[in-house]
Amino acid sequence: MFPRQVLLELRDDGLKGQVLRHGRPQPVSLEVSLPPLLCLDGRPLEKEPLGDLIGDLLVRDNLIDAFVMASLPAAAVQWRVIVWPFEEWPEDAAEALRQLEPDLNLPYALADACLDLQPLPGHPAQMLLATAPISLVDAWVEVFNMAGVQLDRLAPAQSCELLAVRSLLADSPPDQLVALLHPGPEACNLLLLREGVPVFERSLPAGGEPLVQELQRCLEFYRRQDSGAAGVRLLMADASDDLDAIELALGVPAELLTPEPYGSLVLQGLATPEIGP
């Protein structure tokens, strides 16, 4: 008998989740907006109300005994591409990084952070490092303890999204610059990738002419740093009213990503088996 699993995407403004039954995603059944200041910059400010809410949602759907796989809000996570200076990665890469303490321009020491390392296909010397303060991760663990549920996994949202689009990026030409746009109510997140490797990230205006102009500026800025970047491939993580204007400005058609039967790219990535170093 397969244990029931719940995928849960955590954001400052809401929660979204769906059940995995026998490894197959069911329709999104958990979706709720969060009041302001319940969660801010990825940190749960009101842990008990959040825990009560999550617990009530799972009790409502008879899922309180399910194993929960949740994503840390993107705002809670700092991520970097790490190039290992030696011939092989050590068995405990996270501990080795803590001992080396490289200058990663993080607002905290690696000793005070939880680390998630994922390999980058085709780049054996590189890994994607996602970090979050231990205190923040512990706060979310406490929220799930208050909810009375079994937290099986807490993964960075950025790592989940990258896992979800990995197969799409596999056929990209080496000189192609991939722009992944994630429209939102307050801002539009831009992620640039080369050969599947994140190379640039920026929060852009939510829409209108400011979004289009800032997107063009970001692409021009990156190309000045990387003269080998040629054509642009535009991926949209969600629909946008500015799609036509963006396509016209960049001169390329957009590809609207449809993670169905998953409710989002993050939920799709959460369901992907973890790949260790």
Residue 185 corresponds to which tokens in the numbers above?
């109510």
Whether residues 120 and 142 share a domain: the answer is no
Q: CATH no. for residue 129?
A: 3.30.1490
Residue 254 to residue 3: CA distance in whole angstroms? 39
Whether residues 189 and 148 share a domain: the answer is no
16, part of any domain = yes
The residue that leads in pLDDT, 2 or 70, is 70
**Phi, psi for 30 (deg, rounded to 5):** -115, 110
**What is the count of structural domains for the chain?**
3
Rg (CA), the chain: 19
104, part of any domain = yes
Alpha helices, DSSP H, located in 5-133: 47-60, 93-100
Residue 142 to residue 47: CA distance in whole angstroms? 7
Whether residues 147 and 191 share a domain: the answer is no
Tell me the average pLDDT across 29-54. 95
Residue 102 to residue 127: CA distance in whole angstroms? 14
How much is the pLDDT for 145? 97
Whether residues 210 and 250 share a domain: the answer is yes
pLDDT tens per residue across span 206-243: 999 999 999 999 999 999 999 899 899 999 999 999 99
230, part of any domain = yes
Whether residues 61 and 151 share a domain: the answer is yes
Residue 266 to residue 262: CA distance in whole angstroms? 9
The DSSP bridge partners found for residue 72 are 156
124, part of any domain = yes
Closest residue by Cα to residue 73 from 48, 50, 96, 105 = 50
Closest residue by Cα to residue 82 from 132, 123, 113, 137 = 123
Residue 261 preceded by cis peptide, ω within 30: yes
Q: CATH no. for residue 188?
A: 3.30.420.40
SS (H, E, C) 13-45: CEEEEEEEECCEECCCCEEEECCCCCEECCEEC
Closest residue by Cα to residue 252 from 209, 225, 215, 205 = 215
Q: Which amino acid is at 245?
A: A
The residue to which tokens 């617990």 are assigned: 55
Residue 263 to residue 221: CA distance in whole angstroms? 33
How much is the pLDDT for 178? 96
| Strand (E) or helix (H) holding 218 | helix 208-225
Question: Are 131 and 115 a contacting pair, CB within 8 Å?
Answer: yes
The answer for residues whose C-beta is within 8 angstroms of residue 86's C-beta and 6 or more apart is none
pLDDT tens per residue across span 198-207: 999 999 999 9
- In this prediction, residue 1 has a pLDDT band, given cuts at 50, 70 and 90, of low
pTM for this entry: 0.91
41, part of any domain = yes
Whether residues 141 and 44 share a domain: the answer is yes
Whether residues 104 and 37 share a domain: the answer is no
Whether residues 194 and 246 share a domain: the answer is yes
Whether residues 16 and 63 share a domain: the answer is yes
Whether residues 26 and 147 share a domain: the answer is yes
Whether residues 119 and 200 share a domain: the answer is no
Whether residues 168 and 247 share a domain: the answer is yes
33, part of any domain = yes
pLDDT tens per residue across span 154-188: 999 999 999 999 888 888 898 999 999 999 888 99
**Phi, psi for 190 (deg, rounded to 5):** -110, 130
Residue 99 to residue 93: CA distance in whole angstroms? 10
Residue 262 to residue 225: CA distance in whole angstroms? 36
264, part of any domain = no
273, part of any domain = no
Domain residue limits at 219 = 163-256
